[in-house]
């Protein structure tokens, strides 16, 4: 893969950007100023989306007001999977280009993705009680998301278990890439097996089955949670950069500045 | 506004227990996700500060990999 990539004719600017992006210091210095803006936008979107969803959207004609859990359940479930895909992409970049930054992102995403997966399972479980009459059922969708949680936890455990950071990174990358097989299983589980879980609310090809007053706040919350995820991953990766580069001159200088 | 009173808003048509537990849990997890990286960052600076102070007190050159890539 690297062989093919290196032989393609990339414009010089793109090639330079790619190499610069691999530098942890570049990442640390570039993304720092983004954080407050991303955080403010996330707060605004989630604030509006949540208040709208909780107080202004009409109740569902079958589920009543319990459907309002959708405004946090869907963003959490979406990010649980998007986080995993991001981790697997970083795994490919690490294995092919040996980019240290990719490993730092991978290490940061694992606990954050696990948190969103837990949140998706927990809110789904709470929602299941009034809707299906049970907190838990071994349904295809729920079971495959539980496997996603175990994959996240497995990757976190693997990283702790291997002492040499390079070897740990490679092992996590391989596990992350192999585990991607679970993502289409989650996606299609509602079509392949008899399931209680309702199909997706949004799709690229057709209009949502809800009126805009119900799906607009969901869209706002999905966007807001995306930004929130980005804030957390960026902050986490910046800290990871400092930890792993603590012996370099620029990090020591940074620590001295912080002291003053 | 979909609800006539604040009491009705809290009751969520009898589903208040489920709705509010979900939102509370989300608030907790989201706060943790945002605070955890900052907390790690602060701890890192505290540790490094201690290390640098000890090194300065001993009058030593702080150990820095001078050949570490500057990129």
**Nearest-angstrom CA–CA distance, B42 and B36:** 10
Burial classification of residue A164, based on how many CB atoms lie within 10 Å of its CB (0-12 exposed, 13-18 middle, 19 or more buried): exposed
Note whether A255 contacts B: Cβ–Cβ < 8 A: yes
- So what's the ipTM on this one? 0.84
Long-range contacts (CB closer than 8 Å, 24 or more residues apart) made by B49-55: B49/A255, B49/A258, B49/A259, B52/A252, B52/A255, B52/A256, B52/A259
Which residue carries 């600017």 as its tokens? A13
Which residues are CB-contacts of A151 (< 8 A; sequence separation ≥ 6)? A84, A175, A176, A179, A182
DSSP B13: G
Q: Which of 37-96 (A) contact B at CB < 8 A? A: 50, 54-59, 64-66, 68-69, 72-73, 76
Domain parsing of chain A, residue ranges: 72-198+214-260
Written as tens digits, the pLDDT of chain A (260 aa) is 777 777 777 777 777 777 777 789 999 998 999 999 999 999 999 999 999 988 888 888 778 888 889 999 999 999 999 999 999 999 999 999 889 999 999 999 999 999 999 999 999 999 988 888 888 888 888 999 999 999 999 999 999 999 898 999 999 999 999 999 999 998 888 777 767 787 777 776 776 778 888 889 999 999 999 999 999 999 999 999 999 998 888 888 888 887 65
Give me the percent of chain A exceeding a pLDDT of 70: 97
| Calculated CA dihedral for residues A34, A40, A45, A48, nearest 10 degrees | 180
Structure confidence at residue A146 (pLDDT): 95
Is residue A155 within 8 Å of B51, Cβ to Cβ?
Answer: no
The model's pLDDT over B11-66, given as tens digits with 9 standing for 90+, comes to: 787 788 888 999 999 999 999 999 999 999 999 998 888 888 888 787 765 555 55
Q: How far is A224 from chain B (nearest CA, A)?
A: 12
Note whether A31 contacts B: Cβ–Cβ < 8 A: no
**Nearest-angstrom CA–CA distance, A151 and A84:** 9
Domain parsing of chain B, residue ranges: 6-57
Note whether A119 contacts B: Cβ–Cβ < 8 A: yes
């Amino acid at each position: 893969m690297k062989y093919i990539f290196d032989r393609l004719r990339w414009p010089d600017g793109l090639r330079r950007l790619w190499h610069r992006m691999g530098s942890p210091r570049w990442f640390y210095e570039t993304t720092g100023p983004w954080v407050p803006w991303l955080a403010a936008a996330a707060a605004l979107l989630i604030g509006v989306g949540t208040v709208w969803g909780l107080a202004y959207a009409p109740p569902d004609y079958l589920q009543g007001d319990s459907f309002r859990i959708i405004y946090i359940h869907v963003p959490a479930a979406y990010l649980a999977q998007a986080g995993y895909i991001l981790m697997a992409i970083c795994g490919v970049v690490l294995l092919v280009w040996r980019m240290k930054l990719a490993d730092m992102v991978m290490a940061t995403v694992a606990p954050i993705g696990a948190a969103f997966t837990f949140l998706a399972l927990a809110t789904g479980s709470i929602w299941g009680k009034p809707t299906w009459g049970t907190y838990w059922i071994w349904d295809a969708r729920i079971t495959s998301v539980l496997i996603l949680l175990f994959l996240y936890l497995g990757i976190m455990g693997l990283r702790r278990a291997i002492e040499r950071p390079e070897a740990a990174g490679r092992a996590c990358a391989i596990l992350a890439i192999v585990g991607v097989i679970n993502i289409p299983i989650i996606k299609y589980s509602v079509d392949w097996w008899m399931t209680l879980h309702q199909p997706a609310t949004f799709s690229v090809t057709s209009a949502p089955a809800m009126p805009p007053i119900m799906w607009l706040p969901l869209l706002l919350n999905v966007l807001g949670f995306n930004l929130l995820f980005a804030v957390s991953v960026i902050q986490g990766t910046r800290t990871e950069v400092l930890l792993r580069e603590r012996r370099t001159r620029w990090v020591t200088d940074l620590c001295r500045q912080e002291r003053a | 506004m979909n609800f006539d009173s604040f009491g009705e808003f809290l009751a969520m048509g009898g589903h208040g227990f489920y709705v509010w537990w979900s939102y509370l849990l989300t608030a907790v997890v989201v706060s943790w996700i945002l605070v955890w990286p900052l907390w790690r960052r602060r701890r890192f600076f505290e540790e490094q500060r201690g290390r640098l102070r000890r090194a300065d007190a001993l009058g030593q050159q702080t150990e820095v990999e001078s050949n570490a890539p500057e990129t």
